[in-house]
Copies of this chain bind each other. A is one copy, B any other.
């Protein structure tokens, strides 16, 4: 007797061994509370660029938000419940955007690409949530004489350097004020999955939203400082699956840096509130 999909349970390829195991579903269907974990250190640098360069990165239905400011953020995550306490790191590039769909309207941060150094969250993020996750080596940051230096590479080619320093810790009040100011609907994504055999046609293509509410996340510490970021030009031989991505980011004009942040948080959510926008 072939197997039947269990109703109400999530699946992911291979589906043949029972319901999937991932951030939103553990053994026997249990949920992860993300209450005292994960622990995240997020390090980011922002810069003003050209409105036109960002427009070219937006799918139909989107426009650039308030100001063409790109944020490059590296996160170092530990104590992840669904990975039985292991961690991984990410590198994301986003900017403010507005989505005007047939039905939905949303303002938020458009996540153009998110490198992660572990395959499992890449698969769950792409397939379940529509995050544009791809693989990159993201070693622990180097911290030396007041400077934090983050890097990303692929098979020995370093494609990014991000450095922050001159950090000043914010008081709880300053941090709270800053957080409350960040009013947005959340993070915007474009989910796309090709149709097998009909090359060039999608089976899935829609916008998704990660709502900004994140009730279990607690900001523990916050610093403001200065920073720089560089994407390094690559050839097809260097990065045969993503030299186009890295070179586009390399080409973004840095008109003016808009500061750097370091934020340490505890707790989170399983992102099961991710939803499609039409």
Contacts and interface: CB of A to CB of B under 8 A. Distances in A.
Interface of A: 1-4, 7-18, 21-22, 24, 26-27, 37, 55-63, 78-79, 81-87, 112-113, 119-120, 122-123, 126-135, 137, 139-145, 147-149, 151, 153, 155-158, 190-197, 199-200, 202-204, 206, 208, 236-237, 240-245, 248, 272, 274-276
Contacts of A244: 17-18, 21
A85 B190 contact: no
A222 to B, nearest CB: 20
Contact of A14 (B113, B151, B240): B113
A68 to B, nearest CB: 14
A241 B21 contact: yes
B196 A13 contact: no
A7 B198 CA distance: 12
A202 B156 CA distance: 36
A13 to B, nearest CB: 4
Contacts of A3: 56-59
Contact of A12 (B13, B58, B81, B194): B194
A10 B201 CA distance: 7
Contacts of A132: 13-16
Contacts of A157: 158
A197 B78 contact: no
A119 B142 contact: no
B112 A21 contact: no
Contacts of A145: 85
